[in-house]
Structure 1
Amino acid sequence: MNEPNKKMALLGSAPISKALLALGLPTMIGMLINALYNLVDTYFVGGLGTDQMGAVTVAFPLGQVIVGLGLLFGNGAAAYLSRLLGRGDKKTANKVASTALYSGVAIGAVLILCSVIFLKPILKQLGAMDSIMPYAVSYTSIYITFSIFNVFNVTMNNIVSSEGAAKTAMCALMAGALLNVVLDPIFIYTLHLGVAGAAIATAISQMVSTVVYLCYILRKKSVFSFSIRECSYSKEIMSEILKIGIPTLLFQILTSLSISMMNNAAKEYGGSALAAMGPLTKIMSMGSLIVFGFLKGFQPIAGFSYGAKKFDRLSEAIRTSILWSTIFCVVFGLIAAIFPSQIMSLFTKGDMEMIRIGSVALRANGLSFILFGFYTVYSFLFLVMGKATEGCILGSCRQGICFIPIILLLPMSCGLSGVLYAQPIADVLSAIITVFMAVHLHRELAAAKAHFLAAQPAPSNAFSANEAI
């Protein structure tokens, strides 16, 4: 069996546990290593001082917005691509993959140029204080300029995952992540480049990941073909990409906005409070990325099964994904809640106030993270099924609809505690909303299954007679 046929068999007929492990585990490992190198980046910068840590902290939301463009086209295309493969429509799938890749890079270049031109005003809005600004400009100007490679990588990661090539996604992520771990101390300390060195190390690492994906394309290992001539901006293709991509981009923008709002609220209580938000964000992002990586395996299975009308297979994939992701979230969340001060102390040279503030926040976020797997499975599911409105609402809850009112109001009455507990409260509210939306979705799936079975032709008399014999 050739490679494309193996991928299709994995999506459509392999046992769910085997398919989830084969598709989700490599991406999860890649995401884990990717998250670890972000943490290592933060660890090495933390050794430079509180202001340098604050500089990296305020730059993070801007990077997330730019990555959101890769998700706009990559994740929007991935959901559609998995359904097209389920229907066997390879011709349209090639057009969708090419359109997503080239559009993401082109629009990403425009946004990066605008960000560099207006960098100082943007950083000020993201929470950069006067003492932090020189370091923030030094780091972010390099980091943002070279993030065009990250836009390409994120778009390709989603496209590659949609065809079941999870090992390729893992290799691309691992290559960049491991290189960054090696280069960080060299550029930051050996070459004495400080925060600029951290940005240079990240840029080189992202370029290496891009090379891995380019090799995959040029060696024609992909199910899809990529060509500018294949790009199509037809109403059908763009509506399918954007109806999933826009909610995903909105989620990413809300993530950046929530981090920015938390940074701005925290800086009112001093540099240590702002610096504490950096490790907190990176640690909880590590847990989130691992769940996202695993669910990248769930996404093509769910999309393929839904497109092929395999409702029993879809239901089994949902149950298994919720169980496995929740087990991980419980373990990760409890580790963060039980050892918060030990974890936070790794990211400072001895700022006890930063450790104290960060520990309170990490404990609370760890406990609420237990709900994250359940919430995220359904967030992914609505989008991959093409239910853009429901996916947009659910994807906006945790760091938008629920979080924004809380972060604006709670600090007024609770001070710094209101900042630290805003996200955990939003997590709980989002999980409650998910329960109601999930019940409604399963009723719809049951009705769709009944309608599909009723529309199937009855067995012929000859077939029935043979069965009777």
Structure 2
Amino acid sequence: MSSKNNKMELLGNAPIPKALIAMGIPTMLGMMVNAIYNLVDAYFVGGLGTSQMGAISVVYPLGQVVVGLGLLFGNGAASYLSRLLGKGDKEKANQVASTALYSSITVGAIIIIFSMIFLRPILKLLGATDSIMPYAVTYASIYIVSCIFNVFNVTMNNIVTSEGAAKTTMLALMAGAILNIGLDPVFIYVLDMGVAGAAIATAISQIISTLVYLTFVLRKKSIYHFRIKNCTFTKEIISEIFKIGIPTLVFQILTSLSISLVNTQARPYGDSVIAGMGAVTRVVSMGSLMVFGFIKGFQPIAGYSYGAKKFDRLHEAIKTSIIWSTAFCVIYGLVLTIFSNGIISQFTKGDLEMIRVGTQSLRINGISFMLFGFYTVYSSLFLALGKGLAGFILGACRQGICFVPVILILPAFWGINGILYVQPIADLLSAIITIFMALHLHKELTLTKQKFLSEKTE
């Protein structure tokens, strides 16, 4: 019981820097190791050839859509759960956690079955060329089925983080990722299984992460009780989960859409361009996943503080998170910009066109990545406060509202450069929109605080 009280103390009363470090750093480290796995996976597959590298680049967005179902229920529930804990309503919190977990598994299984039935047409739509398709089918046939474990893991990741158990999330992420890094060369090269070996290594690692979460729940370390009988599909619970979960799912779908649109636009330029852009996506994703990991720690603090009417604490959490995340993004962006050629060269045996395209894209993406921390804090903050519509609009900017029109129009006028520069342009436009929405939010929070204080003194 003392550990559960400590979690509540961390969310509600601990100094903000201490709370952010305790909540954000473990999740950030876990996401970092997970991101490193993605890079290592691409590194080993890239050693097989350009078409194999292109295959995992094409399958990647499909996997992200499936995992988005875990985010739909997990992230949607997490925001509500943090606010419920702030209000002290643990009974409803149990209902929300159970409803989210069992719903995500059920819906995830349905989508995976659908994806496997229509696998080839889906991969074609995602940009697979004739030379990439055989490898993509082999990889996806194993990887997509194993995503049922990832749906569970992503859902639990969000739910467990909402109660302040960031170290458990870190352990689950790191256990799976480290194992995957070790298994990749064994299955791909030692056992000579190629891209199938990469998919099997991923499946095993996801199962290990699932076992970590199951151990946490079965040993009754969680504040929540995950029971089927607790599943409650009331209008209030479903609307609260979906209010935040649907925007989150849409963000994930837009991310997958943006990657598939890049692949589709790059297809006329050959496998080298698809592979090069795929490498850039994974390298930039390493930084973005680390920021997301840190923000995972910020979100429950923000939601809890808002639910408990601790507005000064909320303001301090926002300010500190912006400073810390922006500092990280500037450093990471500079590394990508300065060492772009050396980084991209690690993902190919010596495909000069892939290196040229990837280097140019990574250099400009590194510069625009410096804006990512500021944007992400606010896109996550709106969701943490239960402001689903505003969160949806802002969250949809970077990979949707600002990205899709540019990728559909710019390549027609600027050729391959229109593909390479699309994300940086979308990043800049998203940051500008964020400024205006952030100013409006702070005015609203000030008025809410004043109203609360006046009611309190009456």
Matched ranges for 1:370-449 at <5 A = 370-449=370-449
Aligned length: 458
Identify the residue that residue 350 of structure 1 maps to in structure 2: 350
Q: Following the alignment from structure 2 to structure 1, what is the Cα–Cα distance between the partners of residues 5 and 235?
A: 30
Q: Following the alignment from structure 1 to structure 2, what is the Cα–Cα distance between the partners of residues 313 and 131?
A: 55
Identify the residue that residue 67 of structure 1 maps to in structure 2: 67
Identify the residue that residue 91 of structure 2 maps to in structure 1: 91
- The amino acid across from 1:424 in the alignment is P
Identify the residue that residue 116 of structure 1 maps to in structure 2: 116
- Return the offset for 1:439: 0.2
Identify the residue that residue 133 of structure 1 maps to in structure 2: 133
- The amino acid across from 1:216 in the alignment is F
Identify the residue that residue 298 of structure 2 maps to in structure 1: 298
- The amino acid across from 2:232 in the alignment is S
Q: Following the alignment from structure 1 to structure 2, what is the Cα–Cα distance between the partners of residues 268 and 161?
A: 43
Would you say 1:160 and 2:152 are equivalent positions?
Answer: no
- Return the offset for 1:33: 0.2
Would you say 1:288 and 2:283 are equivalent positions?
Answer: no
Would you say 1:222 and 2:239 are equivalent positions?
Answer: no
Find runs of 4+ consecutive structure 1 residues off by over 3 angstroms: none
Identify the residue that residue 467 of structure 1 maps to in structure 2: none
Identify the residue that residue 315 of structure 2 maps to in structure 1: 315
- The amino acid across from 1:292 in the alignment is F
- Return the offset for 1:157: 0.2
Q: Following the alignment from structure 2 to structure 1, what is the Cα–Cα distance between the partners of residues 117 and 286?
A: 31
After TM superposition, the score normalised by the length of structure 2 is: 1.00
Identify the residue that residue 338 of structure 1 maps to in structure 2: 338
Q: Following the alignment from structure 1 to structure 2, what is the Cα–Cα distance between the partners of residues 97 and 38?
A: 29
2:280 alignment partner, SS class: helix
Deviations 1:137-191 (A, max 9, x none): 0000100011100000000000000000000000000000000000000000000
- The amino acid across from 1:228 in the alignment is I
Deviations 1:33-81 (A, max 9, x none): 0000011000000000001001000000000000100000000000000
Q: Following the alignment from structure 2 to structure 1, what is the Cα–Cα distance between the partners of residues 339 and 307?
A: 44
- The amino acid across from 1:103 in the alignment is S
Q: Following the alignment from structure 2 to structure 1, what is the Cα–Cα distance between the partners of residues 341 and 87?
A: 52
Q: Following the alignment from structure 1 to structure 2, what is the Cα–Cα distance between the partners of residues 277 and 142?
A: 23
Q: Following the alignment from structure 1 to structure 2, what is the Cα–Cα distance between the partners of residues 372 and 266?
A: 25
- The amino acid across from 1:64 in the alignment is Q
- Return the offset for 1:457: 3.3
Q: Following the alignment from structure 1 to structure 2, what is the Cα–Cα distance between the partners of residues 439 and 124?
A: 43
Q: Following the alignment from structure 2 to structure 1, what is the Cα–Cα distance between the partners of residues 457 and 401?
A: 46
Q: Following the alignment from structure 2 to structure 1, what is the Cα–Cα distance between the partners of residues 14 and 343?
A: 40
Matched ranges for 1:11-26 at <5 A = 11-26=11-26
Q: Following the alignment from structure 2 to structure 1, what is the Cα–Cα distance between the partners of residues 213 and 450?
A: 42
Would you say 1:451 and 2:447 are equivalent positions?
Answer: no
Identify the residue that residue 101 of structure 1 maps to in structure 2: 101
Identify the residue that residue 27 of structure 2 maps to in structure 1: 27
Q: Following the alignment from structure 1 to structure 2, what is the Cα–Cα distance between the partners of residues 427 and 54?
A: 25
Identify the residue that residue 239 of structure 1 maps to in structure 2: 239
Identify the residue that residue 279 of structure 2 maps to in structure 1: 279
- Return the offset for 1:271: 1.2
- Return the offset for 1:266: 1.1
- Return the offset for 1:270: 1.3
Q: Following the alignment from structure 1 to structure 2, what is the Cα–Cα distance between the partners of residues 414 and 278?
A: 20
Q: Following the alignment from structure 1 to structure 2, what is the Cα–Cα distance between the partners of residues 305 and 239?
A: 22
- The amino acid across from 1:213 in the alignment is Y
Q: Following the alignment from structure 2 to structure 1, what is the Cα–Cα distance between the partners of residues 203 and 373?
A: 31
Deviations 1:414-463 (A, max 9, x none): 000000000100000000000000000000000000000000135xxxxx
Deviations 1:334-369 (A, max 9, x none): 100111000000000000110000000000111000
Matched ranges for 1:179-258 at <5 A = 179-258=179-258
Deviations 1:259-318 (A, max 9, x none): 000011112111110110111111111111000000011000000000000000000000
- The amino acid across from 1:154 in the alignment is V
- The amino acid across from 1:4 in the alignment is K
After TM superposition, the score normalised by the length of structure 1 is: 0.97
2:44 alignment partner, SS class: helix
Deviations 1:73-118 (A, max 9, x none): 0000000000000000000000000000000000000000000110
Q: Following the alignment from structure 2 to structure 1, what is the Cα–Cα distance between the partners of residues 136 and 206?
A: 20
Q: Following the alignment from structure 1 to structure 2, what is the Cα–Cα distance between the partners of residues 270 and 225?
A: 51
1:233 alignment partner, SS class: coil
Q: Following the alignment from structure 2 to structure 1, what is the Cα–Cα distance between the partners of residues 323 and 96?
A: 32
1:456 alignment partner, SS class: helix
Q: Following the alignment from structure 2 to structure 1, what is the Cα–Cα distance between the partners of residues 223 and 47?
A: 45
Listed as ranges, the gaps of 5+ residues in structure 1 are 459-469
- The amino acid across from 1:29 in the alignment is L
Q: Following the alignment from structure 1 to structure 2, what is the Cα–Cα distance between the partners of residues 324 and 5?
A: 27
Q: Following the alignment from structure 2 to structure 1, what is the Cα–Cα distance between the partners of residues 453 and 273?
A: 58
1:263 alignment partner, SS class: helix
Q: Following the alignment from structure 1 to structure 2, what is the Cα–Cα distance between the partners of residues 398 and 215?
A: 37
Would you say 1:7 and 2:7 are equivalent positions?
Answer: yes
Deviations 1:367-419 (A, max 9, x none): 00000000000000001111111000001000000000000110011000000
